[in-house]
Amino acid sequence: MDEFSKKDMEDELTLKQVIELGRDYFYELLRSWKIIILIVVPFVLYFLISAIVKPVTFNASLTFMVNEDEGGGGGMSQIFNTFGLPGIASGKNNLDKILELARSRRIIQNVIFNKISIDNNEDYIANHIINIYDFHKKWKNDTTGLKNYLFVKDSFPLFTRTDNAALKRVYHTVIGSKGVKGLLTTSYSDETGIMEFIMDTENEKLSIEFSKILYDRVLEFYVKKTIEKQQQTYDIMRLKMDTILQEMSSGEYQLANFRDRNLGLWSDMDKLKGAQLKRDVQVLNERYVVLLKNLEIADFTLKNKVPFVQLIDEPIAPIQPEVESKIIAILIGGFVGGFVAIGFVIIRKIFRDALS
């Protein structure tokens, strides 16, 4: 028998063994159907019960866009220098940085200490989150002062350690923590650059109001920091203009008063005094004209620097509640349980075959 024939027989034998082995495992699975069901059922029940008890949530989405053609790079660098972060390249707004800004504690705490009314109870958003998510149940055995805690002030410099601890708990509930999804999701489209804030809570009004206030605070802080340098230049020019205008008005009044007193009977000393007053007024006029031009340039630069942020869609009531699908939960439970059960049966057979 030549070499090729031997190789073909070996291949045939191997294929036959594989088929027989597969058939053995298939029949083993059929014989173990009771065990498989016993393993699958708990998984199905677990996922089904989880879907049933999972609370209904309301997903409020707010979308907007930022014109990146404006020179906002310097402004964004200033923003992130405020947080001790490295700046970004000038000329482009970095959308990732804007979204991180929206998730910063500085912005979030400026949102959660706005008061809104939920179920006829006007209170800080932070306190509404504490009540809706039953923080007091988690804090019932706390010995640091969090038991039955609610915020009563919004002046951060006056916060105690207990206030700060509660603030951090609420903050991480909003943005999430390691391995735990938060109430807030931020994203943007790579193709269109449209940015989105999604607030998903168990209360419709909380979801809507939070996303709206968050947008306002991010926009306010972003614009302020973007034009900060230009605004400072404009304010200085405006102050100088007001000062020169006052000096010029005072000089003109002195010159007019001097002329009225002399009634045309001018001595040489009077003429000198009049010439000096007239010269001072002319100098002030020239300075005023120069400052007026500079002020117009500063005003144009300031207005040109203001980034164009356009709100696209804001959430409005009613919002369709998000309910966990029972069918999907059963299918997931069946898949996971089936995978575990089949794995158990196969491993059991491998050990049996090895021992026999």
pLDDT per residue over 91-117, tens digit each?
345 688 888 889 999 999 999 999 999
Any residues with CB less than 8 A from the CB of 195 and at least 6 apart, and which?
A: 63, 64, 65, 66, 95, 98, 99, 186, 187, 188
Query: Are 174 and 66 members of one domain?
Result: yes
User: Highest mean pLDDT range out of 93-97, 126-130, 234-238?
Assistant: 126-130
Distance CA 324, CA 201 (A): 14
At residue 8, does pLDDT exceed 90?
no
Write down the H helix ranges in the chain.
Answer: 3-31, 33-53, 73-82, 95-102, 105-112, 125-132, 135-138, 161-175, 204-226, 228-262, 268-305, 326-355
Segment 68-82 shows an average pLDDT of 48
Q: What is the pLDDT of residue 210?
A: 95
Distance CA 353, CA 322 (A): 50
Query: Are 96 and 9 members of one domain?
Result: no
Query: Are 213 and 96 members of one domain?
Result: yes
Query: Are 14 and 90 members of one domain?
Result: no
At residue 304, does pLDDT exceed 80?
no
Q: Are 193 and 66 in contact (CB under 8 A)?
A: yes
Amino acid in position 11: D
- Which of the two residues, 284 and 215, has the higher pLDDT score? 215
At residue 253, does pLDDT exceed 50?
yes
Amino acid in position 335: F
Number of domains in the chain: 3
Task: Give the tokens for residue 323.
Answer: 């309910």
Query: Are 158 and 71 members of one domain?
Result: yes
Any residues with CB less than 8 A from the CB of 205 and at least 6 apart, and which?
A: 116, 118, 317
Which residue range is the domain that position 289 belongs to? 230-305
Query: Are 343 and 289 members of one domain?
Result: no
Query: Are 200 and 265 members of one domain?
Result: no
Q: What is the pLDDT of residue 263?
A: 59
Query: Are 268 and 343 members of one domain?
Result: no
Query: Are 112 and 222 members of one domain?
Result: yes
Q: Sorting pLDDT into bands at 50, 70 and 90, what band is 76?
A: very low
- Which of the two residues, 24 and 315, has the higher pLDDT score? 315
Query: Are 187 and 318 members of one domain?
Result: yes
Report pLDDT digits (tens) over 153-202.
Answer: 988 889 999 999 999 999 999 999 887 889 999 998 888 888 899 999 99
Query: Are 239 and 318 members of one domain?
Result: no
Query: Are 247 and 207 members of one domain?
Result: no
